[in-house]
Amino acid sequence: MSTVHATRSAGTRVFDVAAIRREFPILSRTVNGRPLVYLDNAATSQKPRAVIDALRAYYEEINANIHRGVHWLSQRATDKYEAARESARRFINAGSVEEIVFVRGTTEAINLVAQTYGRTRINEGDEIVISHLEHHSNIVPWQMLCAERKATLRVVPINDAGEFQFDAYANLLNERTRLVAVSHVSNALGSINPVREIIALARSRGIPVLLDGAQAVPHLKVDVRDLGADFYTFSGHKMYGPTGIGVLYGRTEWLEALPPWQGGGDMILSVSFDGTTYNKPPFKFEAGTPNIEGGIGLGAAIEWIEGVGLDNVAAHEHELLEYGTRALRKIEGLNLIGTARQKAGVLSFTLDAIHPHDIGTILDQAGIAIRTGHHCAQPVMDRFNVPATARASLAVYNTTADIDALVEGLDQVVRMFR
């Protein structure tokens, strides 16, 4: 469990970001002879010492396969792994641990739903609704499913600020709509979608909803029962945890009704050549030896975030977003892409006549890590008629000094090209 670094006293927020930064070993390193300024958190976050130590402890102290062994190591590893499942349940307020399926990440979670719900509930002439804000992981699986099942993919438009157009969404829903799958927060723009209203309207018409929460859970408090989501997905590596681990939340009635996706060990109760009896959820969807260390590391990451407090995280990142927005708008020729009224910590932008890859390369020489490209969201780039953007994305350990360094680096980019 991490030390609590943020408290509220007499209505005033006290937030020790310097202490938080000291828990991330990589933030003390230099890149190209300059102190690292890490602003690529929407791609992956850095890891605190608590997560690194949890991974090391697993391999040094209790390394064994889980669920099947009666020996001490296997039982201790199983206990740690299943404790992480309970941490994930608590983190998003799922009703039970049976609703928490461990997967490799958001991409696998969405594909799991496409292969189980999609292949049993989507037929010729049916429709799936997504939005123009989606990551490729929430587009391509549905395109593949629609091609296979002869269904149709419908897309909710966004406005010039990068905001979900709710009226258009309402008009897309009809008697053929079988699923709504949208992002909670856009990875390319940071737009926060009105997911509570999206879910309420869909469910009033008997349509289940999947939310891609990869960019939400590191920054916002998520309560899946309060939202009413049928499926919710997120990845460990974007929330200070390891790569290769994530969560699919599914409401109990769905996980019990849907067939397994993959076959193998641990997802069965009994096997004979005459047939197989499947295990109960969530194990029905977890074939084979899982990413044990990843699950344990995810549990450590969740405990670390809870120690800091998501309310404190959100407040700190919102202040940084406002500071960064004001600072970037002062740069001549800089165009912010995505100015939604409800927005998480993403600053996506272009500079007139300068390719984003050139921006990223020059900033890297100053030790500043941002992301450039289409961010696995090419339809978003097409909507704004740009091939790519430069994207600075924030995390709890970022500071106004990081923003100042970014602005100084961008000033250098402008001077070099003009």
Query: For the residues of 27-42, what is the DSSP string, one character each?
Result: GG-EETTEE-EE-BTT
Task: Yes or no: say if 246 and 105 are a contact pair by the CB < 8 Å rule.
Answer: yes
Catalytic residues: 376
Q: Tokens in use for 78?
A: 């199983």
Q: Which 3 state secondary structure label does DSSP give 70?
A: coil
Please work out, in degrees rounded to the nearest 5, the angle formed at the alpha carbon of residue 324 by the alpha carbons of 320 and 325. Answer: 120
Side chain identity at 370, as an amino acid letter?
Answer: I
Q: d(Cα 211, Cα 62) in Å, to the nearest integer?
A: 35
Strand order in the sheet with 246-250: 100-103, 246-250, 231-235, 209-212, 177-183, 127-131, 152-156
Q: Which 3 state secondary structure label does DSSP give 263?
A: coil
Helix axis angle for 72-92 and 292-308, nearest 10°, is: 40
Dihedral sign from CA coordinates of 336, 407, 21, 3: negative
Q: Which residues contact 71 (CB under 8 A, 6 or more apart)?
A: 64
